[in-house]
């Protein structure tokens, strides 16, 4: 059976199993869980930190969730850790894997598998890769929008209201570029590596209106496994991948999870000033190498045309 068919079969089985568990608490009456809220594990209990009916339109850099991550040292000066969240419906049990890194210590570059007609997974990352993940959004066999690697433009930008870009320059700095700045960024010719994705989750700490009000082009209620990339005020990069956590790691890749507004809240509560959603679902995947050299992998169920890897700078 192919990986995608296995994922579909696994998703169906998980839905059946999770349905009974979720149904038992869907009303929230027995557990006291609000239907549209996010809580973080707090010892033996849960602490609600976000509610849809009081969702902040702007996040400060206070990073209330970052202090609840049990950070572990990774290769190249990275830190990584996990959070347990509780939300509505199939997000009732969600694990968030969080990576925090300094791009001046970890050299980031793209893996353009699409140029050879192929697909890539984090399992193909070389032994010197401290970090690997899928990059951008995809349309068939191609990445969506702008792709630059090694200073050479492979695909031209696409322009859409919430389609931002991740840009690395020769200094090693990484920027999440807002949609209305992508054309100027391209014209400057300074990108060493770049790719587009959508939607923007945060711009200068502000949640886009399209994630706060329905009917503006974003499905605000669809739940899925999520992957996002953001930047802190000090220039460090945050990567967050969600995993279905009700039935343990074996079903972690099942595409159940958060909404786009909830993922914006996660990135804001981790301290991000800018943040962009990447392709999640069954494509979402991540590899983190521990400081001792051992890889920790959260695989996806299919290969992708574009990957992003990080290697420790010499």
Domain ranges of the chain: 3-312
Answer yes or no: pTM beyond 0.85. Answer: yes
* pLDDT for the residue 254: 72
Q: Helix or strand or coil: residue 90?
A: helix
Q: Which two tokens stand for residue 312?
A: 């420790």
CA distances from 145 to 183, 197, 199, 215, 306 (A): 12, 7, 13, 24, 12
* pLDDT for the residue 251: 56
* pLDDT for the residue 247: 65
CB 284, CB 89: distance < 8 Å: no
CB 130, CB 80: distance < 8 Å: no
* pLDDT for the residue 253: 60
Q: If we measure between CA atoms, which residue out of 43, 44, 41, 121 comes closest to residue 82?
A: 41
Q: Is 235 exposed, middle or buried (0-12, 13-18, 19+ CB in 10 A)?
A: middle
From the CA atom positions of the chain, what is the Rg in Å?
18
* pLDDT for the residue 156: 98
Q: Helix or strand or coil: residue 211?
A: helix
Q: Walk along the chain (314 residues) in steps of 10 and give the mean pLDDT of each run.
A: 40 36 31 69 95 94 92 96 94 95 96 96 96 95 97 97 96 96 97 98 97 92 96 97 77 78 98 97 96 95 96 90
Could you give the CA distance from residue 151 to residue 229 in angstroms, rounded to a whole number? Answer: 21
Could you give the CA distance from residue 101 to residue 72 in angstroms, rounded to a whole number? Answer: 12
Which ranges constitute the DSSP H helices of 217-295? Answer: 260-269
Q: Is 116 exposed, middle or buried (0-12, 13-18, 19+ CB in 10 A)?
A: exposed
Which ranges constitute the DSSP H helices of the chain? Answer: 3-25, 182-188, 260-269
Could you give the CA distance from residue 247 to residue 168 in angstroms, rounded to a whole number? Answer: 38
* pLDDT for the residue 62: 86
Could you give the CA distance from residue 64 to residue 67 in angstroms, rounded to a whole number? Answer: 6
Q: Which two tokens stand for residue 166?
A: 């991740």
* pLDDT for the residue 256: 83
């Amino acid at each position: 059976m192919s990986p995608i068919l296995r994922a579909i079969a696994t998703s169906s089985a998980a839905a059946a199993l999770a349905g009974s568990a979720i149904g038992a608490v869907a009303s929230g009456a027995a557990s006291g869980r609000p239907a549209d809220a996010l809580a973080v594990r707090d010892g033996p209990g849960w602490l609600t930190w976000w509610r849809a009916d009081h969702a902040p339109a702007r996040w400060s850099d206070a990073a209330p969730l970052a202090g609840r991550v049990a950070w572990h040292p990774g290769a190249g000066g990275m830190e990584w850790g996990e959070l347990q969240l509780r939300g509505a419906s199939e997000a009732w049990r969600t694990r968030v894997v969080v990576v925090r890194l300094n791009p001046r210590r970890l050299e980031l570059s793209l893996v353009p598998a699409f140029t050879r007609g192929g697909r890539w997974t984090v399992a193909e990352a070389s032994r010197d890769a401290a970090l690997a993940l899928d990059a951008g959004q995809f349309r068939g066999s191609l990445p969506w929008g702008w792709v630059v690697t090694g200073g050479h433009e492979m695909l031209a930008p696409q322009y859409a209201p919430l389609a931002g870009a991740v840009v690395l320059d020769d200094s090693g700095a990484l920027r999440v570029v807002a949609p209305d700045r992508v054309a100027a960024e391209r014209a400057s010719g300074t990108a060493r590596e770049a790719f587009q994705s959508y939607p923007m989750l945060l711009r200068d700490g502000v949640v886009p209106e399209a994630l706060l009000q329905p009917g503006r082009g974003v499905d605000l209620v669809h739940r899925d496994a999520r992957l996002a990339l953001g930047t802190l005020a000090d220039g460090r990069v945050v990567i967050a991948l969600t995993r279905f956590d009700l039935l343990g790691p074996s079903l972690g890749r099942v595409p159940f999870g958060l909404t786009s507004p909830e993922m914006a809240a996660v990135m804001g509560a981790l301290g991000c000033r800018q943040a962009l959603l990447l392709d999640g679902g069954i494509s979402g995947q991540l590899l983190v190498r521990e400081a001792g050299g051992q890889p920790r992998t959260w695989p996806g169920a299919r290969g992708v045309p574009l990957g992003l890897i990080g290697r420790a700078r010499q």
